[in-house]
Chains A and B, each alone.
Chain A
Amino acid sequence: MMEGVIVAGIILASAIYLGVQVYRKYSRKSGSGCGSCGSCPTDTPRVK
C-alpha cells in the first residue's frame, strides 16, 4: 500500500513539474533567459 502511494506520488510530482516547466518556458519573454542554454545569467534573482 505504502509502496503504491510513494510511486504514485513520484509520478504525479514529475508530471506536475513538467507541466509547470512547459508553462514557464512558453510564457517567458524572449531574452529573459529560458534556462535552456546557460547563456543568460539566470542564476541570480538580481537579473531582470
Chain B
Amino acid sequence: MNPFSARRSSVAGTKPCLVALVGNPNTGKSTIFNRLTGLRQRIANYPGVTVDRKSGRMRLEAGDFEIVDLPGTYSLTAVSHDERVVMDVLGGRRNMQRPDLLVFVLDATNLKRNLFLVSQAAELGLPTLIALNQCDAARRNGLRIDAARLSRRLGVPVIETVGSNGLGMDELKAAIVEALEAPCFLPRIAWPECITAGCVMLRDGICTLGCKDISDAEVLRVLFDRESVYTEPVLEKLRLRDLIHEAHDGIRSSGLSPGSVEAVLHYRHIETLLEGVVESSGPIARTRESVDRLLLHRVWGTLIFFGVMYAVFQSLYTWAAPMMDLVSAGTDWVQTWVAGFLTGTPVLQSLVCDGILAGVGGVLVFLPQILLLFFFISVLEDTGYVARAAFLMDKLFGWCGLNGKSFVPLLSGYACAIPGVMAARTIEDPKARLTTILMTPFMSCSARLPIYILLIGTFVEPLHGPYVAGWVLFFMHFVGVGVALPLAWVLNRFFLRVKPLPFILEMPDYRLPILRNVVHRMWERGREFVLRAGTVILAFSVIIWALLYFPHEESVATGARAEFVQIQSAERPEAAVLAALQNPESPTSLRLANYVDAAYIEQSFLGRFGKTVQPVFDPAGFDWKITVGVLSSFPAREVIIATMGIIYNLGSDVDEGSTDLRTVLQKEKWTSGSRIGQPVYTMPVVFAIMVFFALCMQCGATVAVVAKELNWWWATASFFGMTALAWVAAVAIYQTARMIPILMS
C-alpha cells in the first residue's frame, strides 16, 4: 500500500483531541504518558523500551484528551520499524489520526541533540509544546536552562518537568489545554534556494504521478533520506530516483553536500536558538565517567556483569526459599481442608484436590521467585546498568552477527520473549532483526524458572548444597544464550550474511531506582502470574485431571487387585494376603491402594497417550509421565508444574503422609521396561529435562508474536527448529551422562 495515501482528517467528529508525545529515546516520554493518563505503560532507564504507539485518555475539567506515547527517535529519518510508527502517526498515514498537538519531551541534560528532532519537525506545521524533562538531572550536572528564553526563541510554550516525581505535570496539563485553544508553531529554518528548488521539483513530480496530499516535511524526507522504511515504498512505486538525483545535483552545484546539508543547517539553527539559553555553572560531576570506565572495561566490566548475574540467580535461589515453604504449606493446608468438605463426593473431591489445588497450588509456589526476579530486573533497568551491559555485549555478540542493539531484545527475553521479540523493531537491518527475533525465544524467560527451581531444589540441592544449586540455576540461564549465539553465527555465516553495523547507544545517567516503579513492576508480574494460575493454568489443570482420571473403569481396579494378590502370593500364602487386605489400615492394603491408583492412571486417556508417545522421548530418559508433562506444556511451559502436580498427586504413595511434589519425584521409579524398579529421576534425566525446557519453544503466545512480527513461515520454522534442537540436546545429555555410572544412581 502506498504509505502516502489514506490520510485522515486531524479531528474526526466527536473524537477527543489527539496529543502525541514525541522525543529522543529515553527522555521520559512513557513516564510522562503514565503521569498524564494514570496508566502503567512500561518504563526503564535505557533507550528502546517503547516500540509501538500506545494511547490512553487524559481526563481534565476541560474535557478528555487522547495521549499517544510514541517510540523514541533521534530524527524523522525512519530507518527502523519503530521509527516508522512515529512517521506514520505524525504524517497521519496508514489510517492513523494526525495529532492535534505535538508535545516534545526533551532531555534537559542534552538539549542540543534533542532539539534536532524538534527543528526537523517544525516542517510538519503542527501545533507544538515542549516539556523540558529531567530538569533535576540537568541541575545536578551543573546546567542552568533559561526555559522562558527558549520558549520565546521557539515561539512555543516550554514547561519544565521531572517525570519521575511528577514535578511540572499540572503546568503541562494546563499548557496542553491552552496550546489546543491557541496553537503555537515552531519556526521553520530558512532553506537555501537550491533545496527549495529541489523540493518544488520533487513535489511537482510526485503530484504528476498522482500523489497530491504530500506535506512539506514528507517532500524533505524524500529529498534527504537515503534509506527509509517510510519513503522507500513510494520511491519504488513512483520511480522518483531520477528526480532525486537531479535535485541532489542542484544542491551539489551550490557547493553543499546532499548527505550532510540537512544536519548542518539544523544544527546551525539550534546553535542560534540555544545562545544564552544553556549555561554550565561549575564542573560536571566526574563520578559517572569513573564508574563507566570500570563497568565498560573489557575485562573488569565483563567480570562485573557475570558477577551481578550470578548474585541475582543465587539470591533468587536462597532468598525465596522461606517464602516458598510458606506458600507450599498454605496450599497443603487448603487441600486438606477442602478434602474434608468433599468426602461424600469422591470424583469431585479428586477434581478439586488432586486436579485444581494440586495444579494451581504447584504453580503458585513459585510466586516468590517471580517477584524477586522482577525486583532485580527493575533495579538493573532503573539504575542505567542495562545500557552499559548492552555496550559490553556488543563486543561479545559481534562475532556471531548480532550487535549490541540485539542485547535489549535479548535481555527483555529473560523476562518474557514477547516484549523481547517486539523490541527487535529498533534494529534497522532486516537480517539482523530477523536473527535477533529468532534467537530471543532461547533466552531463559521467567516461565522456565519454576521447572529449574523444582528440579534443582529436588535433586541438586540435597546432594550438593544451596551454593552449587545456585550455580546450576545460574548456568541454566545461560544455556539458551550458549546455544543461540553459535546458531546465530551459522545463520549469518551461511544464510543471511548480515553486514556488521556500527552500534550507537546512548548511555543514560545513573539513577537511583524509584521504589514505586520497582514495586509496580513486581506487582504487575506477580499479578499476571497469579491471574494466569487462576485462569489458564486452572482450566488446564481441570482438563489434565479429567484426562488422567477417566475412563476410570471398575474393571481396571478388579484386574489390578487380582494382579496384586497374585504378585503378593508369590512371597507368602494367598490366605495371608487376603487376610491382610481385610484391614484397610494394614501396609498391604495401602500398597494395594497405590497399585490400583497407578493402574487407573496408566489406563487413563492421558496415560495411554503418554505411553504411545513415550518411545519418542525414551532416548532422553523420559518416562511416560514426563512425556505427558512435556507435551502438555507446549502451549505454555509453566503448565508442566501443574501437570506433574496432578500426575504425581493422583499416583502418589498414600502411605507417604506427604503429597509434596519434591518428595514424590525423588521416590518415583520405573514400573515397566528394562529399567523397572530403578529411579526415574537420575541426574542425567534431570539435566535432560532442564535443557529440553531451556531450548524448546513451548509458548503459543511467542509463536503468534513471531508470526506477526515476521510471518508464519518463520514462526513455524522457529517452533520446529527449537523443538528438534531441544530433543537432540536432551538425548545427547542423557546418553552421554548415563555412561558415568555414579550419575545414574
Cβ–Cβ contact B422 & A31, under 8 A: yes
Specify which chain A residues have a CB less than 8 angstroms from the CB of B708 in the assembled complex.
29-30
Of B48-56, B461-469, B684-692, the stretch lying at the interface with chain A is B48-56
Complex CA–CA separation, A35 to B536 (angstroms): 12
Specify which chain A residues have a CB less than 8 angstroms from the CB of B86 in the assembled complex.
none
- Residue on B nearest A39 in the bound complex, by CB: B419
Cβ–Cβ contact B39 & A47, under 8 A: yes
Specify which chain A residues have a CB less than 8 angstroms from the CB of B52 in the assembled complex.
30-31
Interface residues on B, range: 35 or more
* Given A17-B535, A36-B416; A11-B542 close (CB under 8 Å): yes
8 Å CB contacts to B: which residues of A1-48? Answer: 3-4, 6-7, 10-11, 13-15, 17-18, 21-22, 25-26, 28-31, 34-41, 43-44, 46-48
Complex CA–CA separation, A35 to B345 (angstroms): 36
Cβ–Cβ contact B55 & A48, under 8 A: yes
Specify which chain A residues have a CB less than 8 angstroms from the CB of B543 in the assembled complex.
11, 14-15, 18
Cβ–Cβ contact A14 & B416, under 8 A: no
Complex CA–CA separation, A25 to B543 (angstroms): 19
Closest chain A CB from B445 CB (angstroms): 8
Cβ–Cβ contact A6 & B40, under 8 A: no
Q: Does B348 contact A (CB under 8 A)?
A: yes
Closest chain A CB from B440 CB (angstroms): 12
Chain B's interface: helix, strand, loop or mixed, by majority? helix
Q: Does B528 contact A (CB under 8 A)?
A: yes
Q: Does B700 contact A (CB under 8 A)?
A: yes
Specify which chain A residues have a CB less than 8 angstroms from the CB of B542 in the assembled complex.
10-11, 14
Which residue, of B51, B345, B418, B709, has the highest number of chain A Cβ atoms within 10 A?
A: B418
Q: Does B539 contact A (CB under 8 A)?
A: yes
- Binary per-residue interface labels of chain B (536-576) against chain A in the complex, 1 for a CB within 8 Å, 0 otherwise: 10111011001000000000000000000000000000000
Specify which chain B residues have a CB less than 8 angstroms from the CB of A22 in the assembled complex.
635, 700
8 Å CB contacts to A: which residues of B689-740? Answer: 699-702, 704-705, 708-709
Cβ–Cβ contact A4 & B54, under 8 A: no
Q: Does B37 contact A (CB under 8 A)?
A: yes
Cβ–Cβ contact A38 & B524, under 8 A: yes
Complex CA–CA separation, A10 to B494 (angstroms): 52
Cβ–Cβ contact B536 & A34, under 8 A: no
Specify which chain A residues have a CB less than 8 angstroms from the CB of B524 in the assembled complex.
38
Closest chain A CB from B102 CB (angstroms): 19
Cβ–Cβ contact A38 & B701, under 8 A: no
Complex CA–CA separation, A7 to B416 (angstroms): 35
Q: Does B667 contact A (CB under 8 A)?
A: no
Closest chain B CB from A14 CB (angstroms): 4
Specify which chain B residues have a CB less than 8 angstroms from the CB of A15 in the assembled complex.
539, 543
Specify which chain A residues have a CB less than 8 angstroms from the CB of B699 in the assembled complex.
36
Which residue, of A6, A31, A34, A40, has the highest number of chain B Cβ atoms within 10 A?
A: A31
Cβ–Cβ contact B422 & A38, under 8 A: no
Specify which chain A residues have a CB less than 8 angstroms from the CB of B539 in the assembled complex.
13-15, 17-18, 21
Complex CA–CA separation, A15 to B539 (angstroms): 7
Cβ–Cβ contact A25 & B540, under 8 A: no
Specify which chain A residues have a CB less than 8 angstroms from the CB of B536 in the assembled complex.
18, 21
Cβ–Cβ contact B347 & A34, under 8 A: no
Cβ–Cβ contact B347 & A3, under 8 A: yes
8 Å CB contacts to A: which residues of B393-429? Answer: 415-416, 418-419, 422
Complex CA–CA separation, A4 to B546 (angstroms): 12
Cβ–Cβ contact B418 & A41, under 8 A: no
Specify which chain A residues have a CB less than 8 angstroms from the CB of B608 in the assembled complex.
none
Which residue, of B37, B347, B539, has the highest number of chain A Cβ atoms within 10 A?
A: B539
Closest chain B CB from A30 CB (angstroms): 4
Complex CA–CA separation, A26 to B52 (angstroms): 19
- Residue on A nearest B528 in the bound complex, by CB: A38
- Residue on B nearest A26 in the bound complex, by CB: B704
Closest chain A CB from B243 CB (angstroms): 35
- Residue on A nearest B419 in the bound complex, by CB: A39
Cβ–Cβ contact B416 & A4, under 8 A: no
Interface residues of B (CB under 8 A from A): 37, 39-42, 51-52, 54-57, 345, 347-348, 351, 415-416, 418-419, 422, 524-525, 527-528, 535-536, 538-540, 542-543, 546, 635, 699-702, 704-705, 708-709
Give me 27 A-to-B residue pairs in the complex whose CB atoms sit less than 8 angstroms apart, sorted by A's number: A3-B345, A7-B351, A10-B351, A14-B539, A14-B542, A15-B539, A18-B543, A22-B700, A25-B700, A25-B704, A26-B704, A28-B704, A34-B701, A34-B704, A34-B705, A36-B702, A37-B418, A37-B419, A38-B524, A38-B525, A38-B527, A39-B415, A39-B419, A41-B41, A41-B42, A47-B54, A47-B56
Interface residues of A (CB under 8 A from B): 3-4, 6-7, 10-11, 13-15, 17-18, 21-22, 25-26, 28-31, 34-41, 43-44, 46-48
Closest 8 CB pairs of A and B: A37-B416, A30-B708, A38-B528, A14-B542, A31-B52, A14-B539, A36-B701, A39-B419
